[in-house]
Amino acid sequence: MKKLLLLPLITFVFSQLGFAQQLVLPNNGTNPRMTVGVRIGVTDVTINWGAPGVKGREGKIWGTDVAHYGFTNLGFGTAKESPWRAGADECTTISFSTDVMIEGKPLPAGQYALFMILAADETTLIFSKNPAAWGSYFYDPKEDVLRVTVRQQKDLPQSRERLAYLLDNPTDRSVTVALEWERWRIPFKVEVDPVTTGIASIRSQMTSGLGFDPPSLQAAAQWCLTNNVNLEEALFWIESATSPNLGGVQTFSALNIQAGLLRKLGRNAVADETLKNAMAKATVMELHSYGRQLISEKKPKEALAVFEQNHKQNNGAWPTNVGLARGYSANGDLKKALEHAKLALAQAPDATNKTSLETMIKTLGEGKPISQ
């Protein structure tokens, strides 16, 4: 009797589980689902598609029932006129984690179904706000967010068997997305504003626990200083990092960032005092690197002052004489530059530095300034 009562209970439990989840079967391999992605700056671009094969249909893909030109009635679904689904089976989807530009036209962050209106010499890309639909059977032009037209290549040297999306020439601000199948290539350019998206990403992260982490605050402020953007907020971040409330980071690098932001904001007196404090805390290599940075920024007098302070502050230790040689050379005093280069040669800690200084001495001895 108990067994008879248990059977309906088991049936009920499994019927509830079956209602909540579905069996996942292996893909039969006809049109495998594929995914590709890239990060541009802080922007993630991800494409997911079904990849059909040519299967011996060379020359019978484009402008046929396989990949039809224009719109067609697929004979099913709510759409009377459907574009090509730009892949097989389910919708081809493309997502962007931030706002982007597609061929120079703006597209908000989000996930989209990608459709294509094919023609003999050009293709119109459709970004639809309904990525959950199956293929283009339910395509609705009212759901179009963006359309852009590009020209395709139709003479690839080698036929591509499986439809693929390639991500070519990625940089910190753009990538070329290209559909390739058979001998066609349909490319389009995706661009981002790395500064705008960078600020938005950093600002969002600074509202999390990272906003209490001095190294993260310092890195955020440094990024803004380097890119000359968002200076007031960056100053708040670095002042938070150097504040006693968060441990009071008083390193040369942190205080130098603070001084740089203050100077860009026109607060020169406070910047000078902050930089003076920073230099007093700097290591010999930090001051040496800072002096070289000033030379690269075409500030030879300021660089020489830093090299002189480094030499005095560290009692002529390595590599302060190298710094003075570079500083005097940048200011046109080749005689003093040569003197300090010779002193530095005697201090050289290894063969690499010795060889570099020998070259420097030869150049200065010929009456030429050294390369900075």
- Residue 196 · residue 230 · CB < 8 Å: no
pLDDT the model gives residue 7: 47
pLDDT at residue 144 tops 50: yes
Task: Provide the residue ranges of all domains of the chain, joining segments of one domain with +.
Answer: 33-192, 195-363
pTM of the shown model: 0.77
Q: How high is the pLDDT of residue 247?
A: 74
Has residue 272 got a pLDDT over 60?
yes
Q: Does domain 195-363 have CATH number 1.20.20?
A: no
CA separation for the pair 84, 91 (Å, rounded): 10
Q: Cα(182)–Cα(161) distance, rounded to whole angstroms?
A: 6
20 or 179: which leads in pLDDT = 179
Q: Is the pLDDT of residue 12 over 70?
A: no
In this predicted structure, the answer to whether residue 186 has a pLDDT above a threshold of 80 is yes
As to burial, measured by CB atoms within 10 angstroms (0-12 exposed, 13-18 middle, 19+ buried), residue 284 is middle
- pLDDT for the residue numbered 13: 44
At 201-231, the pLDDT tens digits run 999 999 999 999 999 999 999 999 999 999 9
The pLDDT value given to residue 171:
95
The pLDDT mean for the chain works out to: 92
d(CA 150, CA 103): 8
